[in-house]
Amino acid sequence: MNRFALIVIAILTVALAGCADKQTSDETTKQFVIGMSQCNLGEPWRVQMNKDLKEAAAKHPEIKMIFKDAQNNTTTQQSQVKELVDQRVDLIIISPKEALPLTKPVADAMDAGIAVIVLDRRIEGNKYTCFIGGDNELIGEEAGRYMVELLDGKGNIVELKGLMTSTPAVERHNGFMKGIEGSQIKIIYSVDCHWLEPDARREMASALTRFPGAGDIDAVYAHNDPSAHGGYTAAKLEGKGRENAIKFVGIDALPHEGVAYVRDGILTATFQYPTGGSEAIETALKILNGEEVEKDIILGTRVFTADNVADGGQAL
């Protein structure tokens, strides 16, 4: 019996030593687990965000990603953040559905000693490690300035707005108005298209009937690329060839949407609303390696036009 116990102890010792050995060899390339809480993967832009995160993380073998999709449900996202905390991940990236309900789960994660990067939408207060996001008002303003240049400071515009009860649409509108300030550009028809292409198509058709002359509409400013595309389709279906004369400008610049539309000559320009995916991974690495990072990182935009689309757009 004694001998048997001895053998067991010997085996265990060897096994444990093996484990310990493995741990020390890992010390040199430390493994990090990053949990990502996405609020809704039903939107193409958010699918792109996850894709950007995945691609950026793939460049760093020491990072392991865990993705969670809250399917546009605030309570689901709350519990998913908690799951990530319970799993003891090293860092959490969250793109919250709503600010207030997710403020506490993020604070709890911080209390548990986990760094949190808030992506795209903000939370209340300042109990997070770092915020990364685009600036819709700035993008709208850039689009406005671009429009002034495109039309030589004078012309009639149709604005196909996003859902005007959502902040991005309001900011993209306000920014644009600031951008065209002082020019002789007039918005002759402005309508809420709820971010949806079919709605934009229908409303644009009405705008075209209201202003039926060849030079009545000079350009269309749409709050997202699908709406701009819907506007173009309506002009094309009208059958007067006006889709070639009217300039269509959109926002978002996803690779297979806006950028492809610019490449196909459908849109004159699209302004990128950055997902922040790659920036989030770079910032996460800095935090995990103990470096200081800025509290608020505001991302710039890029414009894609026929001239620069082959080179990946131009930073503004």
Binding site for other proteins (CB under 8 A): 41-42, 44, 47, 164, 189-192, 197-198, 201-203, 205-213, 216, 229, 233, 237-239, 256-257, 260, 263-264
In the complex, least distance from residue 274 CB atom to other proteins, rounded to whole angstroms:
19
Helix (H) or strand (E) holding 86: helix 74-86
Round to whole Å and give the CA distance between 258 and 45: 11
Strand segments (E) across 86-175: 91-95, 115-119, 130-133, 154-161
Q: How far is the CB of 256 from other proteins (least distance, A)?
A: 5
Our CB check for other proteins shows the closer of 150 and 163 to be: 163
Token output for 272: 């990128």
Q: Which is nearer to other proteins, 205 or 297 (CB)?
A: 205
| Residue 39 or 106 having the CB closest to other proteins | 39
Residue of 170, 171, 175, 202 whose CA lies nearest to 189 = 202
Closest among 91, 241, 86, 251 to 175, alpha carbons compared = 251
Nearer Cβ to other proteins, position 42 or 125? 42
Which has the closest alpha carbon to 168: 205, 201, 143, 199? 143
Nearer to other proteins by C-beta: 261 or 271? 261
Kindly state the smallest distance separating residue 30's Cβ from other proteins, in Å: 33
CB 74 → other proteins: shortest distance, Å? Answer: 20
List the structure tokens of 255.
């690779």
Query: CA-CA distance, 174 to 161, in Å (whole number)?
Result: 11
Residue 40 is classified by DSSP as: -
CB of 209 to other proteins, least distance (A): 5
